[in-house]
Structure 1
Amino acid sequence: MKRAALVAAAVAVGLVTPTANAAEPVRFATFNASLNRSAEGELLADLSTPDDPQAQEVAEVVQRTRPDVLLLNEFDYVEGGAAVGAFRTNYLARGQHGADPIDYPYAYTAPVNTGVPSGMDLDNDGAVGGPGDAHGFGAFPGQYGMVVLSKYPIGPARTFQQFRWADMPGARLPDDPATPEPADWFSPEELEQVRLSSKSHWDLPIDVDGRTVHFLTSHPTPPAFDGPEKRNVLRNQDEIRFWADYVTPKRGDYIYDDQGIRGGLAPGSQFVVAGDQNSDPLDGDSNGIRQLLQAPRVIDPRPGSAGAVEASGTQGGANENHRGDPFLDTGDFNDESPGNLRIDYVLPSAPLVPLRAEVFWPTSDDELSRLNDASDHHLVWLDVVP
């Protein structure tokens, strides 16, 4: 069977059994671990000892699912990676509640836009300063940051933290409804500096036994907390569109990275897009994820869980009117609005062969259901053959 046909078959049945001669599968995962704190330095302080209850639960989720390459969203950035080192040493390297320790010899973290002062009144409240005027919403630089942990070497990163929103062709720039001019929420001077990424976009080449898989990671803004201008809804959609353009030949020619190098991903490159995209294909305030799900070569393995189905039925509320399949939900949110949603994704490219994909959301009769409160998101994992 040709590789393309194998990919199609894998997606159709949701499970492929590798042959004896097949390459070893690699498990990619994303987890919004909610390891963010309200003040700078708090996370490092919490992780500097091995007894933080939430960090223990997050570590146990990782140990139970055992990803080879893992993106953690909402992990406050600390310069020099001290918080990452503390988490690996004090939590992942210690067996949690009977789970086996797990080692990640490679890690990547970098500055993000959250909490970085812009010096401008981006939220148009008449004052400069505070979370709403930062390049990405945050109380301090690095809040809600990102970390990638890997059992495989991580090559030189391409980062897109400083890419300007206005430099995206056809950008969905917000409009001030109180004025007659279109798309004028931001002044011309502000548009010279307003960044697209609310945290950052990273292209991390993962060296899997000599084969490169680009791990494309991000965490678009929640499409909420808006006024009628809907600037977060629009930004969310364009942050997602960034990766759709990046992986599509010729559509990413406008993109430049933080080193000034232009262009999208090289044609034919293998990739996995991962992250909390804050977008459900059918429900919630932004359906921008459709842009990525429909991009060429992107495969949707449709991971799910029985726990999500159970939660949707018992919690009711907004879930009763959702159009999406609750089996696919990854986020457990307010029952009245927006309800539970599918917002966390691990999306491989052809010709990667997806073997199995799941959401870690145990049902209430499972002993591991005690870990469902580790975060309001659930870890999503995917096994692929590079």
Structure 2
Amino acid sequence: MSPRISRRGALVAAAAAGLGVPAAAEAAPQPARRGGGTTRVRVATYNASLNRATEGQLLADLATGEDPQIRAVAQVIQLNNPDVLLLNEVDFDEDGRAIDLLREKYLEVSQNGATPVHYPYAYTAPVNTGVPSGLDLNRDGTVGGPDDAWGFGAFPGQYGMVLLSRHPILTGQIRTFQNLRWAAMPSSLLPVEFYGEEIAEQLRLSSKSHWDVPVRIGSTTVHVLAAHPTPPSFDGPEKRNQRRNNDEIRLWADYLSPGRRSRWITDDAGVVGGLAPQEEFVILGDYNSDPADGDSWPGAIDQLLTHARVRDTRPSSEGAEEAAAQGGANDSHRSDPRFDTADFGDSPSPGNLRVDYVLPAKTLQVVSSAVFWPRSGRPGSELTGTYPFPTSDHRLVRVDLEVRS
């Protein structure tokens, strides 16, 4: 792409095609550290709750440059300074204007004295949330509304995703799986009896989308596997959301498995199969599934945590351990609270959970990992807090990797 194309013009063209684009022609900030044939890269995921109740409201809030919640989100990002960052729950707009405004008016401006951050590359694409299906998906006898969209949402693009990067995104190699049908998955948990054969055959698997976004870091290509599976709660006796959450997670597990397990997977361009065994990757996103607590289908997230190609670094924080003292559902949890990444309602459920993940390939060298959740009174604790949260009910999760340069 020519550097003469303006940032806004590039994003307009790219959003329609689902491409990653440079923010501008200026040079990108250097990665955290380079030396000895490797580059240290901080990879992070953050459900930043940059979703709004009505279409266009996020753009209006971003345009002011003064929205308190967005400023606090930007400060969290500045303090953690990731090189590659997936943001969940950013309302999608076809012009890509939200990405422009977020960078120009918030990330590239110091928030409360924090150092500004610059991301020359960004990627976003359409998602299933709020897109009308034309079908009675919730089986209430009427068609229309958030429950009858391909993914729950009040308008197309609500709860979308954005990938920001200081390293080039290989736009020509991106794979998306927005339209992949749930019925295509062998031995899926699809509740055909609830939907009926005709509707079940048409359902899309991904509640938002699944993206394989290759990022070039030095001489190494790292595939960012991004997703945001549906919450397993808000369910009826058929457990359709639990089942879908499980199978959305399973998509990546099969994608990383060679041979027959990945042959059913077809991307939006019609390319079949999964990720080759020699490729490096990192799984990012809010997967709405805790290993032992909450409402997930049994073993849902274990499909990734115990996968032969995946390393679980178990990022932790002191703040999460402290927050478990809120009581309620937390008192009966089995998971170690140090690893929690989200502060949900504690009474009657589900309590604080580990649902946000940065899971690198075992072939990548891990330096450190953490959840940004300071204890009360520590610097940054004012950015997490308790309900009503100044930023989000989720916390930023990061992993530092050494990648061959």
TM-score norm. by structure 2 comes to: 0.87
Aligned to 1:178: none
Matched, 1:330 2:341: yes
Aligned-residue sequence identity (percent) comes to 59
**Letter of the structure 2 residue corresponding to residue 357 of structure 1:** S
Aligned to 2:12: none
Picking from 181, 184, 189, the partner of 2:193 is 184
The change in CA–CA distance for 1:368 and 1:19 in structure 2 (over 3 A counts) is closer
Contact 2:39 2:218 in 1 (8 A): no
Matched, 1:270 2:272: no
Aligned to 1:11: none
**Letter of the structure 1 residue corresponding to residue 374 of structure 2:** P
What is the rounded CA distance, in whole Å, between the counterparts of 2:277 and 2:357 in structure 1? 22
Structure 2 unmatched ranges of 5 or more: 1-32
Aligned to 1:359: 371
TM-score norm. by structure 1 comes to: 0.92
Pairwise CA distance, 1:22: 5.2
Contact 2:345 2:352 in 1 (8 A): yes
Aligned to 2:215: 206
Matched, 1:86 2:86: no
Pairwise CA distance, 1:219: 0.1
Pairwise CA distance, 1:267: 1.6
RMSD over aligned CA atoms reads 1.2
Aligned to 1:280: 290
**1:5-45 C-alpha deviation (Å, 9 max, x unpaired):** xxxxxxxxxxxxx9962512111100000000001000011
Pairwise CA distance, 1:190: 1.2
Matches within 5 A, 1:1-386: 21=36, 23-156=38-171, 157-174=174-191, 183-250=192-259, 251-286=261-296, 287-313=299-325, 315-336=326-347, 337-372=349-384, 373=389, 374-386=391-403
Structure 1 unmatched ranges of 5 or more: 1-17, 175-182
**1:287-335 C-alpha deviation (Å, 9 max, x unpaired):** 410011111110000000000001112x111111100000000000111
**Letter of the structure 2 residue corresponding to residue 185 of structure 1:** F
What is the rounded CA distance, in whole Å, between the counterparts of 1:141 and 1:56 in structure 2? 25
What count of residue pairs does the alignment treat as equivalent?
A: 360
The change in CA–CA distance for 1:26 and 1:20 in structure 2 (over 3 A counts) is closer
Aligned to 2:28: none
What is the rounded CA distance, in whole Å, between the counterparts of 1:88 and 1:243 in structure 2? 30
**1:332-374 C-alpha deviation (Å, 9 max, x unpaired):** 0111210000000000002101110000001102131110031
Aligned residue for 1:239, secondary structure, equals helix
**Letter of the structure 2 residue corresponding to residue 320 of structure 1:** D
Pairwise CA distance, 1:121: 0.1
Runs (4 or more) in structure 1 with deviation over 6 Å come to none
What is the rounded CA distance, in whole Å, between the counterparts of 1:106 and 1:210 in structure 2? 17
